[in-house]
Amino acid sequence: MTTPADHDHKPSNFLRQIIENDLSLDTYAHRRWAGSPGDAAHHAAGQPDPAKIRTRFPPEPNGYLHVGHAKSICLNFGLARDYGGVCHMRFDDTNPEKEDTEYVNSILDAVQWLGFGWQANGTSHLYQASDYFGFMYRAAEYLVEAGHAYVDEQTPEEMRVNRGDFGKPGVNSPFRSRTPAENLARFRDMRDGKLADGAAVLRAKIDMASPNINMRDPAIYRIRRATHHHTGDQWCIYPMYTFAHPIEDALEQITHSICTLEFEDQRPFYDWLMARLIEGGLLASPPPKQYEFARLNLTYVITSKRKLAQLVNEHKVSGWDDPRMPTIVGLRRRGYTPESIQLFAERIGVTKSDSWIDYSTLEGCLREDLENKAHRGMAVLDPVKLVLTNWAEVFGSEAYTEDCHAPVLPHHGDDQPAPALRHFKIGNAVWIEREDFAEVPPKGYKRLFPGNVVRLKAGYVIECTGCVKDANGHITEVHAKVIPNTKSGTPGADSVKAKAAITWVSVADGVSADVRLYDRLFTEAQPDAGGKDFLASLNPNSLQVVSAFVEPSLAAALPDQKFQFERHGYFVADRLDHAASKPVFNKVTGLRDTWGK
């Protein structure tokens, strides 16, 4: 099995092969790094780059990160870590309309929580693309002067029609033959606010007949009067993503620019732009290269910030950190650990073709991570009272209680030190699961029914005698007799054979708790595939809150502490709502995979 710790045994993939090949060929060995992002001259004056490779994680700060981003974070930071490189944390904040500082902080938190950082070689590699607006403008002027870009003043509709389509080559714009001097003057008019929003765009001059529509003179700058969260009203023109992104990579001396498959058709433009700006002496060589991998699609989950925002804004969930949300804050509150998410990213690997990963894979990683580290405890989620009717007779008083204990973690073999223990009391009444008693036992039933003998786990062996019902026939109490001298761990405890061991919590020291039982948020495996209305398949039963009883060691949990509730699965003390006086637990997942069963 691969864990995040043993890098040497990681399965290879096409990206690892590309990097290993580049390292063996010294493709990037002679680069220089000036200690901060910059143009060719800036880096030429710097030191040989101490980083063998540079990758980047470049989110747009327009929402909270989700499990798909987690894959990208683990991939980019993980490759840099494994190959002596550095991964840059970069906010791709070139689009002024949708961005917000609230998201910036949540994104930084998410990356750090997942176990990664951007400090390396004494430098904080935390960047924002809007800091490069000045260079981007200069690069655009260079393209204009070199005859590689022109200001197009066709209407958006004319531009759309003249772009052509798959089967039809595009038609040159009447503005395409303007001289560099005319274009420069007009581009400066754009910058200086002399043209209305949408009245003109700057386009790269490439080939209107290219079979790749992205190469048919793509727009690289547009006019948009919008206040940017970082640069304010300094600019009324903004670079297009396809122009901005390669430049961001190049200024930061990125070597391997890893993105999702939908950008594959943009790669020729990426390379075209790099070549032009290196020719002009603006960017250092060798340029970064773009590689595409398949995005994560997870069954029963939506991975689109826009759609997740809709769930929040329409109050379908309690917020971005609702434990049913696939956001990193949601997964965290649900009880997922950074290690389990890293393991998941490692296990699903990277491929070149789109596929769906089963949600149970993510849950399996969580179980694997928590199996040996989550403390055990007993909780009764659907309680009914069990009264030990001979208690006073055996122990001298109804009020008498006795200490019991059990290991906090399962004990693995005699060569290990004695396990730490948790303590709880047993008295004349305990809470048991309602399903652990049957007045008339179904075939093969081994738990409580009149005449049957079972063990209260880590406590006494008892013999069931019957039950009490209310006027409606609803069982209000189960009755049993305690069998003396059978307490677990005492001499002769096993002299009476029990048919089963059941979990319980004492009425004497059990603490009442709210336990939130979660189910998948959607009833369909691919809730938004093919443009489907994902809100139509929201699961109305995705949250059920039960009043449970938990043993004292669970009530004393720290917020965010994970447990295995014996027989029920993995639970976490809610980060925000849990208190020792009023415990609140979230169910992370069951003990075994029950999906589709």
- Per CB under 6 A, residues contacting ligand ATP are 58-60, 68-69, 71-72, 259-260, 295-296, 303-305
Binding window for Mg ion (CB under 5 A); candidates: 4-12, 38-46, 60-68, 422-430: 60-68
Residue 569 binding partner per list ligand ATP, Mg ion, none, with a CB distance cut-off of 5 to 8 Å that depends on partner kind = none
Closest approach of ligand ATP to the CB of residue 257, in Å: 9
Cα dist from 385 to 2, 380, 390, 456, whole Å: 45, 11, 15, 13
- Cβ at position 504, least distance to ligand ATP in Å: 44
Partner in contact with 71, chosen from ligand ATP, Mg ion, none, beta carbon below 5 to 8 Å by kind: ligand ATP
Q: Which does 154 bind (CB under 5 to 8 A by kind): Mg ion, ligand ATP, none?
A: none
Q: Considering beta carbons, is residue 60 or 131 the nearer one to Mg ion?
A: 60
Nearer Cβ to Mg ion (295/446): 295
Annotated active-site residue in 305, 334, 376, 481: 305
Q: Specify whether 60 is catalytic.
A: yes
β-strand partners of 306: none
Indicate which of Mg ion, ligand ATP, none lies near residue 457 (CB less than 5 to 8 Å, by partner kind).
Answer: none
- Least distance from C-beta 373 to ligand ATP, angstroms? 28
- On whether the CB atoms of residues 254 and 55 are closer than 8 A, the answer is yes
Q: Report the residue number, 28 or 91, with the smaller CB distance to ligand ATP.
A: 91
From 18, 60, 307, 509, residue interacting with Mg ion (rule: CB under 5 A): 60
CB of 295 to ligand ATP, least distance (A): 4
User: Choosing among Mg ion, ligand ATP, none, which partner's interface includes residue 257 (Cβ < 5 to 8 Å by kind)?
Assistant: none
Phi, psi dihedrals of residue 49, rounded to the nearest 5°? -65, 120
User: Looking up tokens 């406590």, which residue turns up?
Assistant: 459
CB of 62 to Mg ion, least distance (A): 7
335 binds, among Mg ion, ligand ATP, none (CB under 5 to 8 A by kind): none
CB of 306 to ligand ATP, least distance (A): 6
- The least CB distance from residue 293 to ligand ATP, in Å, is 7
| Identity of the residue, 257 or 553, whose beta carbon is nearer to ligand ATP in the bound complex | 257
Extended strands (E) in 136-243: 149-152, 201-204, 219-223, 237-239
Return the one option of Mg ion, ligand ATP, none that residue 305 interacts with (CB less than 5 to 8 A, by type). ligand ATP
Nearer to ligand ATP, 303 or 428 (CB): 303
Please work out the total of residues on this chain that contact Mg ion, with binding judged by CB under 5 A. 1
Catalytic residue among 295, 316, 457, 499: 295
Closest to 543 in 3D by CA, of 565, 579, 570, 518:
518
CB 561, min distance to ligand ATP, A = 30
- Quick one: which segment of 57-65, 225-233, 259-267, 575-583 binds Mg ion (CB under 5 A)? 57-65
Please say which residue, 258 or 282, places its beta carbon nearer to Mg ion.
Answer: 258
- Tokens of residue 517, six digits: 């039982």
Take residue 214 and report the two structure tokens written for it: 């992205």
Cross-strand bridge partners of residue 86: 54
Q: DSSP H helical segments within 114-177, as ranges? A: 133-145, 156-162
Residues 6+ apart with CB under 8 A from 225: 193, 197, 236
Buried-state track 483-520, b at ≥16 Cβ within 10 A, e below 16: beebbbeeeeeeebebeebbbbbbbbbbbebbbbbbeb
The closest residue (CB) to ligand ATP is: 68
Of Mg ion, ligand ATP, none, which one sits near residue 593, judging by CB under 5 to 8 A according to partner kind?
A: none
- 295 catalytic? Reply is yes
Report yes or no: 401 and 349 within 8 Å, Cβ to Cβ: no
B/e letters for 452-482, b = 16+ CB within 10 Å, e = fewer, are bbbbbbbbbbbbbbebeeeeeeeeebbbbbb
102 is catalytic: no
> Residue 58 or residue 583: which is nearer to ligand ATP going by CB?
58
Counting contacts by CB under 5 A, is residue 260 touching Mg ion? Answer: no
Q: How many angstroms separate the CA atoms of 154 and 560, rounded?
A: 57
Task: Spot the catalytic one: 32, 52, 60, 463.
Answer: 60
| 304 vs 594, beta carbon nearer ligand ATP | 304
Question: DSSP 3-state assignment of 6?
Answer: coil
What is the distance between the alpha carbons of residues 112 and 109, in angstroms, rounded to a whole number? Answer: 5
Q: How many CB atoms neighbour CB 574 within 10 A? A: 22
| Residues 101/107/109/111 CA torsion (nearest 10 deg) | -150
With CA atoms as reference, report the closest residue to 378 among 550, 588, 557, 583: 550
Binding residues for Mg ion (CB under 5 A): 60
Which of the residues are catalytic?
60, 295, 305
